[in-house]
Amino acid sequence: MTKARIYALVAQIPKGKVATYGWIAERAGLVRGARQVGHALSVLQPKHDLPWHRVINAQGRVSLPAGSAAAKRQIRRLRREGVAIKNNRIDLKRFGWRLSLDEFLWGG
């Protein structure tokens, strides 16, 4: 099942890093299926116990309504893991799971 792959990938995001919907979709085999990733997370149930808060959009921003309980929860968890957030923005160059500049340039 596709959702299962998505969940498995989300579970693999290292602590202190973040991934975008697009990257998850790509790794799950859904080349242009970022929306599917978002939906999979939206229907996520607590029993899955996944680090969904490490998944953000390609703009490096939390994709939930700013100020909502869910958004605050996500931001708080990320900051607790050492991810710096400014105005709901995250520096993907530094905290991106995949685009850690070193790996990207030096062939990680």
Binding mask 29-68 for DNA (x = CB under 7 A): -x-xxxxxxxx-xxxx-------xx-x-xxx---xx----
Q: What's the DSSP call for residue 8?
A: H
- 3-class SS of residue 83: coil
Least distance between DNA and beta carbon 37 (Å): 7
Q: Which positions lie near DNA, rule CB under 7 A?
A: 2-3, 20-22, 30, 32-39, 41-44, 52-53, 55, 57-59, 63-64, 70, 74
